[in-house]
Structure 1
Amino acid sequence: MKKYLLFYILLFCFADALEFKVGSYNVKNLFDDKIQGKEYEDIKQKRGQWYSYDYKEKLKNITQVLKDMDLDIVSLQEVENRSILDEIKRVVPSYKYTYFYKRADSPIGLSILSRFKIVSNDIITVQKHNKKSRDILKSTIKIENQKLIVYTNHWRSKRAQESSRVPYAISLVDDIKRLDEDMDYIIVGDLNSNYNEVFSFKNNKKLNNTYGITGINHILNTTIDGKFITKQNITKISPYYQKIHYNCWLDTDRRDRFSYIFKGNFNTPDNIILAKTLFDNKGISYVDRSFKVFKPYYLYKNRKIQNRYSDHLPVFAHFDTKKRFKIKPKTKNINSIKHLYEIEDIKETIKLKDIIPIYKHNDSAIIVDDQNSSIYLYNVAKDLKVGFHYNLDVLKIKDYHGLIEITKLENIKILKKEQQDVTKYFLNSQDIDIKNFEYQNKIITNLKGVYKRAKADRRKKLHYIFKNRKKKISIYFLDKKLIPKDRTRLKIKTARVSIYKGKIQLIISKASDFKIY
C-alpha cells in the first residue's frame, strides 16, 4: 500500500513538470532586400547584387536551423528589422510571442522568439551617447506560472579593446542586482568574449587595455580569484554583495568548445550564462550537461562553419520547471587521467595509481594509466623514469591554450623496479588520423613527409599522405636550432600530439625524435 501511495505522490509532483530549451544564434547580418539607409556600408554596396532571391535563401536557411533545433525560446542577434522577424514567425509559427529591438541609428538589432508568453520587454541602455554601442534586451517570460528573465546581448566586437565590452557587463550587473533574490534568469547572446577570456586575452596587447579585467569573467563573476565558478561551488560561494554565474561552456568537452572560428582558431563568443538560482532546487532548474552547440553536417563540416547560414553556430541548453538540479558524473572513477580532462581545476587531490611515463624530455613527460589514457606533465617529472610504474598525487592542472597539463605533483611512489618497454603505447601514424582531437597527449611514430611552406600557409608544415589523401600538420620544435630548412624530407620517429588554440600540432622535443632523409 505504501508503495502505491508513494507512486501517486511522485506522479502528482511531476505531473506539471516541463522541460524546455533555450538557445542563442547570431545569424550574421540578416538584412532584407530593401535599402533603408541604416545598413553597413559594405551591405549598401552589395545591395545591387543582393537580389530578393539571396535574401529569401538566407531566410530559408535560418528558418531551417530554427525548425531543426526546435527551441522553445531563442534569442537572435544581427537581424535588421521587425519585418524580417515577422517573416521568420510566419515560417515557424510555433513562436507565438516575439519581440524586436534596435537603436534608431543601428543597422542591426536583437530579437527573441518564444512559445511561452513574454510578459514584458525592457531595454538596458549601454553607453547612451556611444553610437557603436548596442543595448541589452531584457525579456520576462512566463513558464508554467513561473517567471524566467532572458537577457539578450550583442557586445562590441573584438575590433575594439576590452574596455568597450566591460560597460555591457556593468550595465547588465546593475540590472541584475535589482532583481528579487530568487529570480531565475539567463544571460545569452554574442558577448564577443571567450568563456575563458581572462586567460586567452591577457597577453594580447591589442585587446587588453583593462589591466587584465574582463567583462565576462570579472564583472559577471564567472570566475572568482582566478578560478571558474562551477556547478559544484556556485551555491556555496557568496562573495560580498556580488552575483556569481556559471558559464555553460564548462559543461562541454574542451574539444567541442567553439561556436565561431577566426583564422583557424576556435572561439566561444556565443554564451549561455546561468544565475545561481538555476541550481538552488527552487523554481526553474538547469538540466545538467544539456548545453550543446548545434552543428549538423549542413552547418559544420570539414572543420569549417558553412557561411551561407552564418559564421556562428547556435548554442542551446535545457531547463526544467520541476526537476531539481542534479550533477551527472561523466566518469565514475575520479582518480583517473580521464577525469582530469573533465574538470577545470582540482578541489581534492586526484590519486593516480600504476601510471607509466612513456616519454620524457628534461623535467616534462607523458604518462599513461591502465585505461590507456595519457596526459602531459609539465616541468614536474624530474623524479620519474621512463618505463617504471608509479603511484602519484595530482594537485594542480592547467589548460594551456587547449592542452591539458599536470603542473603539480606530490607523494610519488615507485611500484616496480623493472623497466617496461613503452613502445607498445606509441601509435603508428599510418593507422590513425593524427589530427583527431582524441589523440591529444599521445606519442605517435612512423610519420614521413616534406616540411615546407605552401602558398596558403603562414608557416612551414609537414605535408604527408594518409590513406591516399594529402594532409598537413604544424610542428613545434622546442629547440629552435632543430628547425629544418624549407622542403626538407622528414621521418618522425617520436612526436607528442598537442593542441594549441584549437589546432592539433606535433611537438618535437629533441634531435632523436626525427631524422632527415
Structure 2
Amino acid sequence: MRVLVLLFFAIFALAGELKIASFNTENLFDAVENGSEYKDFKNGRWSKFEYEKKLKSTSNLIKQIDADIIALQEIENENVLKDLAKISGYEYYKFATLDAKSPFGLGFLSKIAIKDSQKFIVKDVKTRPILSIDVEFDGKIMKLFCVHFPAKKNGIKKQKTAADALKSAIFQQKNTVVLGDFNSEFGYKFLLKDFSTFKNAWDLVAKFDRKSHVSGRAIDHIIYSPDLVVKSDSFKTKKSSSSDHLSLEAIIMQK
C-alpha cells in the first residue's frame, strides 16, 4: 500500500503546472479619443503621460505575477493590449470587445501559443463578450475563458443572462478555466453557485481572506473544471496602486 501511495505522489509531482492569473485593470484607456471613453478620459482630462504611467504600473504588477497566461478586464482596445504585451514580455495576446461603441473590452496575454479563440456575445444585454482561448498544456488542449459580467447596479436579470451565456459555453467542457470579474460575490448569492461541476479557487482561502476589490468583496474569480486541480498554496491575491481590484493567481494542474 505504501508503495502505491508513493507512486501516486511521484506521478502527481511530475504533472505539468500552468500559472494563470486574472486582473481588472480599472479603465486602462489610451490617450487617443475616439468618443467611446468615459467622460473622465475625454476633453483633455487624460494624457499620454497618464496613460504611460498607468500602463507601466499595470505592467509592473503583471511582471510580479509572472503568469503563463493572464486574463485582463477593462482594456480599451487591442492597441492597448498590444502595448501591455510588449512592455510585459508576452508574445501572444487576444482581445475582444462588443463593438466599436463599447468603452472597453477584455483579453489575454500568454507566453504559450494561442491555437484558437472564440467570442461569445451575451444576447439582449449590452455588456462585454466572453472570450475563450485554446492552448496546449501537458499534452492536452486547455480552454480558458475571460469574463466581465454586468455590474450589480444593472440588475440581477442582466447578470443572470450573462451567467447563463457562460454556463452554456462551458457546459461539459474539460480542461477548462474561467477567470475574470464576475461582479458577483463568492457565497450563496454567487451567480454560478448552482453550477456545481466547476470548482472555485476561493474555497482554498479562509473566509476572512476572501477579497478581490477595495470594497472588501470577492467579486473576481477563478473557477475550473473537475479534471483540473489548483495547488492549495498557490492561490494568491496582489494589490495594485493603479486599480480598485486585486489580481488573482493560481497554479493549475491536470489530475
TM-score of the superposed pair, with normalisation by structure 1: 0.46
Distance 1:293 1:255 in 2: 13
Q: Does 1:320 align with 2:253?
A: yes
Shift of residue 261, structure 1, vs aligned partner: 2.4
Distance 1:257 1:286 in 2: 16
Which of residues 131, 141, 151 in structure 2 aligns to 1:137? 131
Change (3 A) 1:156 1:16: same
Higher relative contact order by CA 8 Å / sep ≥ 6: 1 or 2? 2
Change (3 A) 1:273 1:159: same
Q: Which runs of structure 2 are paired with 1:10-409 in the superposition (5 Å)?
A: 17-44=15-42, 47-93=43-89, 95-104=90-99, 105-127=101-123, 129-130=124-125, 132-177=126-171, 179=173, 183-198=174-189, 215-218=191-194, 221-222=195-196, 244-262=197-215, 266-278=216-228, 285-295=229-239, 299=240, 306=241, 309-321=242-254, 324=255
Gaps of 5+ in 2: none
CA contact (8 A) 2:18 2:137 kept: no
Q: Which has the higher helix share?
A: 2
Shift of residue 20, structure 1, vs aligned partner: 2.1
Cα deviation 1:363-392 (Å, max 9, x = unaligned): xxxxxxxxxxxxxxxxxxxxxxxxxxxxxx
SS at match of 2:128: coil
AA at the equivalent of 2:210: R
Question: How well do the aligned residues superpose, as a CA RMSD in angstroms?
Answer: 2.3
Distance 1:14 1:159 in 2: 44
Distance 2:163 2:95 in 1: 21
Shift of residue 159, structure 1, vs aligned partner: 1.3
CA contact (8 A) 1:168 1:215 kept: no
Change (3 A) 1:88 1:71: same
AA at the equivalent of 2:192: I
SS at match of 1:159: helix
Percent of paired sites with the same residue:
30
Gaps of 5+ in 1: 199-213, 223-243, 279-284, 300-305, 325-517
Shift of residue 33, structure 1, vs aligned partner: 0.5
Shift of residue 160, structure 1, vs aligned partner: 1.6
Shift of residue 113, structure 1, vs aligned partner: 0.8
AA at the equivalent of 2:193: N
AA at the equivalent of 2:186: Y
Q: Number of aligned pairs?
A: 250
Task: Work out which of the two has the higher radius of gyration on C-alpha atoms and give 1 or 2.
Answer: 1
Cα deviation 1:175-201 (Å, max 9, x = unaligned): 22263xxx2101110000011152xxx
Shift of residue 14, structure 1, vs aligned partner: 7.5
Shift of residue 171, structure 1, vs aligned partner: 1.0
SS at match of 1:152: strand
Distance 2:186 2:232 in 1: 18
Shift of residue 31, structure 1, vs aligned partner: 0.1
Distance 2:81 2:136 in 1: 21
AA at the equivalent of 1:85: L
Shift of residue 17, structure 1, vs aligned partner: 3.7
Shift of residue 216, structure 1, vs aligned partner: 2.4
Q: Which has the higher strand share?
A: 1
AA at the equivalent of 2:30: D
Cα deviation 1:113-133 (Å, max 9, x = unaligned): 111121111011102x43x32
AA at the equivalent of 2:110: S
AA at the equivalent of 1:316: E
SS at match of 2:165: helix
CA contact (8 A) 1:197 1:216 kept: no
Change (3 A) 1:259 1:178: closer
Distance 2:44 2:146 in 1: 32
SS at match of 1:103: coil
SS at match of 2:214: strand
SS at match of 2:81: helix
Cα deviation 1:65-103 (Å, max 9, x = unaligned): 00011111100000001111111111122x221101101
